[in-house]
Amino acid sequence: MSFRILLADDQPDVRESLRLLLKSEGFKVDAVASPTAALAALEAAPPDLALIDMNYAKDTTSGQEGLDLLERIRALEPTVPVVVMTAWGSVELAVEAMKRGARDFVLKPWENARLLATLGTQLELASALDRSRRLEAENALLRGEGEGGGGAPLVARSKAMQQVVQLLERLGPSDAGVLITGENGTGKSLVAKCLHAASRRAKQPLITLNAGGLSEGVLESELFGHVKGAFTDARESRAGRFELAHGGTLFLDEIGNAPLSLQAKLLRVLETGEFERVGSSRTQTADVRVIAATNIDLEAEIAAGRFRQDLRYRLNTFEIHLLPLRERREDIAPLASLFLGRHVQRYRKAVSGISGAALRLLEQHPWPGNVRELDHAVERAVLMASGSTLGATDLLLSPSAARPSLDDLGIEDMEALLIRKALARHGSATQAAEALGLSRSAIYRRMQKLGISG
């Protein structure tokens, strides 16, 4: 199999050297010079792996452009492994990139053998994960647990999650619109699947669309479809997500980031069920239950004029809020056990449990990435484990320090506390920066310096 690699670097000599090296090893290479070109190439043909530089022409030292590109790739194609490159030898920057989802990093000037080994390892892992996902999906279908039949269990040992389960039992059988709110990684997509599985539409499709990582034109086409010739690359007609979800459920993730100009069209189809494909004047209808999710404060977005209030009312007949994992620590142990079972089976490791020390470390960790971060931590620990039980050292986590009083905080500690509170309150670094009177680049530099993940 010939793997396709997306290479992004603004230096022509670097691109050419890497292109020749990778081509000689049998890889297909899409080499681009900017983050914008990288995202365009990603949308045109998703690669098997992305190899991206951390610094570009606009900002040659901080790595912020690379971090932004990394997050966009993860949003658009979360299964594509990303390896980052930096010429500055910054361990902090590499760690920050890996916190945000990079699988590995390479320092410039690179060693060909190490670079090829790194890429080979990540491609092998990605292929193994893909095979496991397909096998898991096939087994689920055989058990009657596909998109309409239940799927993954919802862990609810904490009181907060037990209340969520009660809401799901009440709301699931209805056609009511539901807005799911909460930080990234808290399990909003899983709640959407549970709502669909409990509905009268369970045997019909559940169609998902992330509304936050797409441009306005692409999002409109994804929602409503397009006809042949509607725009330059429209070589054939294509159905949109509303058509595909007819009779079933449409889950719109990151709805708070939908462009304002498109929100009126979305409101119309929610109210009437009517829409037109891009480039067509023929009105179509779709019978769809819409479930939406967001990690941002919609009230703040409405006040700022970036989100329509009438759309919010249409979306959230009912609202389900998911607390961050740090506020429902009773769920950590059962979630860790669930993830352990999955990853042990996936990687065929002889690991049967989690040690007491490792469990205490898991329960003390702040988990800024919530359930998703816990899943990745357990997966990494399973790969690292050499014994039959996961130990504390396998987790690659540091014990959480006791929270100091305000009187004990230094200037940097106080700054970190303020930034974390602003991030928790507003849901994004951009809005947190506005609240603190900082520029977007300034808050990212402070977050990197203080070791705060976005």
pLDDT (tens digit per residue) in 204-259: 999 999 987 677 888 999 999 988 888 877 788 888 999 999 999 999 999 999 99
What is the rounded distance in angstroms from the CA atom of residue 277 to the CA atom of residue 267? Answer: 15
Q: What ranges do the domains of the chain cover?
A: 4-134, 159-323, 326-395, 406-450
CATH number at 159-323: 3.40.50.300
Quickly name the fold that domain 4-134 has.
Answer: Rossmann fold (3.40.50)
| 406-450 matches 159-323 in CATH topology | no
Quickly list DSSP for 407-451.
GG--HHHHHHHHHHHHHHHHSSHHHHHHHHT--HHHHHHHHHHHT
- Domain 406-450 top-level CATH class: mainly alpha
- The pLDDT value given to residue 282: 92
What is the rounded distance in angstroms from the CA atom of residue 192 to the CA atom of residue 189? Answer: 5
Architecture of domain 326-395: Orthogonal Bundle (1.10)
What is the rounded distance in angstroms from the CA atom of residue 223 to the CA atom of residue 284? Answer: 13
Least confident interval from 64-73, 155-164, 212-221, 405-414: 405-414
What rounded mean pLDDT belongs to the chain? 83
Q: In what order do the strands lie in the sheet with 104-107?
A: 28-32, 4-8, 49-53, 82-86, 104-107
* pLDDT at residue 279 is higher than 80: yes
* pLDDT at residue 96 is higher than 90: no
- The pLDDT value given to residue 44: 84
Q: Is the bond preceding residue 366 a cis peptide, omega within 30 degrees?
A: no
Least confident interval from 139-143, 392-396, 444-448: 139-143
What is the rounded distance in angstroms from the CA atom of residue 77 to the CA atom of residue 80? Answer: 6
Tell me the average pLDDT across 113-139: 70
